[in-house]
Chains A and B, each alone.
Chain A
Amino acid sequence: MDAIGWIILVAKVLIVFAFLMVAVIVTVWAERRTVAFMQQRIGPNRVGPFGILQTLADGLKLFFKEDVVPAGVDRAVYLAAPLVAVIPAFMSFAIVPWGNTFRIGRRVVEMQLADLNVGILFFLAMGSLMVYGVVLAGWSSGSTYPLFGAVRSSAQMISYEIAMGLSVVAVVLAAGTLSTRGIVDAQAGTWFGFVPHWFAISQLPAFVVFLLAGIAESNRPPFDLPEAETELVAGYHLEYSGVRFMMFFLAEYLHVITTSAIATTLFLGGWRGPIPPFARPVWPPLWFLAKVVVLVFVFVWARATLPRVRYDRLMAFGWKVLIPASLVWVMATATLVALGPVVSRATLVAGTGLAAGALALWWLARVTLARRAGIRAARPGEEVARGGR
């Protein structure tokens, strides 16, 4: 790589870093305002226009607060844990393609930091490293509630990682590549001229599983058991203050943004969208940004709407619903992909329709039978005869 190549690379790194920092600041503010609106409050509106500088003010305050290290902590691990939480959250964004290529002179610049052949694997690896920040913070604090938070989070994140990985596997099977740029390219084109070839449509179950697992992975409500205030005070970051607390905060919001960006890449066609004939290189990043904003709003919406899930239900949901469902979906996708070259398209569509119909019939029969059983159980005579409950 020559000098200009290095300059372009450093510029891209700086752009991504600045984008992520600004995005976190705006997301925190937007989330507070949105949740306030949904709860018929006003929210932060004092610092700057509409209170948009509130997060900046909070961040500055946290910077100048005293960095308290409690007695009896495991010092090295305690000090390192916030960094361990933040670094993978930044790194995952490296493989996200946020735009197409454009030319400066004879040089083609990709709007992506690193187009790895196994890009999506890199994202999963970074996601799995994210657990360390939480686990180490909880353990090294040497106090009860953080330890509970750490134990909960390690179990939760490992469980939901499997479901997330399986939903990614389905997309990889459908796209036939592990490269994020390749996955975006696989979503080019439209059905009937106006429905985009997004995996959010053809891989809808995987999309739903990915979003649910993404919320659980980033420890966000309604799956924020590792830091549930009513049960664990603040969970794993209870003992942290000042700038180290801010690191955990930053990591959580980075995770939200990165997960949204990856979901955009995998399921919403990444930077693809209608491109008007003027200012061509500008549109892909704008499309990408718009989709990410929509998904971040879904995160905020879920937080404002849904009550926190009980811990055993969270684990049961992950292991007994999400993982089997995504396994079945991976099998179905693999079968369709394998049948692709053998069977004609019409047969494939008919077969899928028949299978879906059979499934719907089975579900309908189950629901009807369950309802009839429920009505029978609700008859007062029988209730008494069985001893009542």
Chain B
Amino acid sequence: MTGQEMAFLALGAIAAAGGVAVVTARNVVHGALFLVAVLAAIGALFLLLGAEFVGWVQILIYVGAIVVLLLFGLMLTKAPLGRGALDNQQRGIAAIVATGTFAMLTWLVWHAFGDERITFVRAVRTADIGNALFTSYVLPFEAVSVLLLAALVGAILLAKKD
């Protein structure tokens, strides 16, 4: 087992443990902080695999923006200190959805990459990512941007009083 493989396993373990902690944390802000650990570990996994650009974008967007917005929202609404329980009584449905998603993703990853060895490449050029994004993956890219636009319009509609 090489050093990189060990680091991969350790980061994976951190991400998985953090994921469990997110849903078991009693305090909702602590849950958000565990989410930071999960997302940062995933960012570190990208870095380990030589995807520098994706790794730092993961940190910049998910850790630096999305979870901060989450915390912002929690503070504006209700984020009690201490062991305040904010439970929305949906454990059964949540468990079914989570198990289903997990099973589907596991099957998908197994089916697609089941017998492939992980090779640690040196580094991916940022220009290659840009070219791939705007040639082979331009349709998903555009679909995601339309989705974001729809979310923006929806947010404005919700926030508008009159």
Chain A residues proximal to chain B, CB less than 8 Å? 72-74, 77, 116-118, 121-122, 124-125, 127-129, 131-132, 135-136, 138-140, 142, 147, 150-151, 154-155, 157-158, 161, 178
A-B contact count (CB 8 A): 79
Give the complex CA separation of A77 and B29 in angstroms: 10
Across the interface, name the chain B residue whose C-beta is closest to A141: B81
Residues of chain B within 8 A of A158, CB atoms compared: 65, 68-69, 72
Residues of B within 8 A of A135 (CB): 68, 71-72, 75
Does B154 belong to the interface (CB within 8 Å)? no
Q: Tell me if B139 counts as interface (CB < 8 A to partner A).
A: no
* Size category, B interface: 20 to 34
A150 to B75, CA, bound (A): 9
Contacts of B65 in A (CB 8 A): 128, 158, 161
Complex alpha-carbon distance, A335 and B118, angstroms: 40
A interface secondary structure, majority = helix
The interface residues of chain B lying within 8 Å CB-to-CB of A127 are 64
Chain B hits for A77, CB < 8 A: 29-30, 33
**Given A131-B68, A132-B68: A74 and B82 interface contact (C-beta under 8 Å):** yes
Nearest residue (CB) in B for A154 is B72
Q: How many Å lie between the Cα of A178 and that of B72 in the bound state?
A: 30
In the complex, what residues of A have CB within 8 A of residue B63's CB?
125, 128-129
Contacting pair A128 B64 (CB below 8 A)? yes
Interchain CB contact under 8 A, A151 and B76: yes
User: How would residues 110 to 132 of chain B score, 1 for a CB under 8 Å from any chain A CB and 0 otherwise?
Assistant: 00000000000001011000000
Closest Cβ neighbor of A121 among chain B residues: B56
Nearest chain A CB to B105 CB, angstrom units: 26
Contacts of A131 in B (CB 8 A): 64, 68
Given A128-B64, A132-B36, A135-B71, 15 other A-B contacts at CB below 8 A?
A77-B30, A116-B52, A124-B64, A128-B63, A128-B68, A129-B59, A135-B68, A135-B75, A150-B75, A154-B68, A154-B69, A154-B72, A157-B68, A158-B65, A178-B126
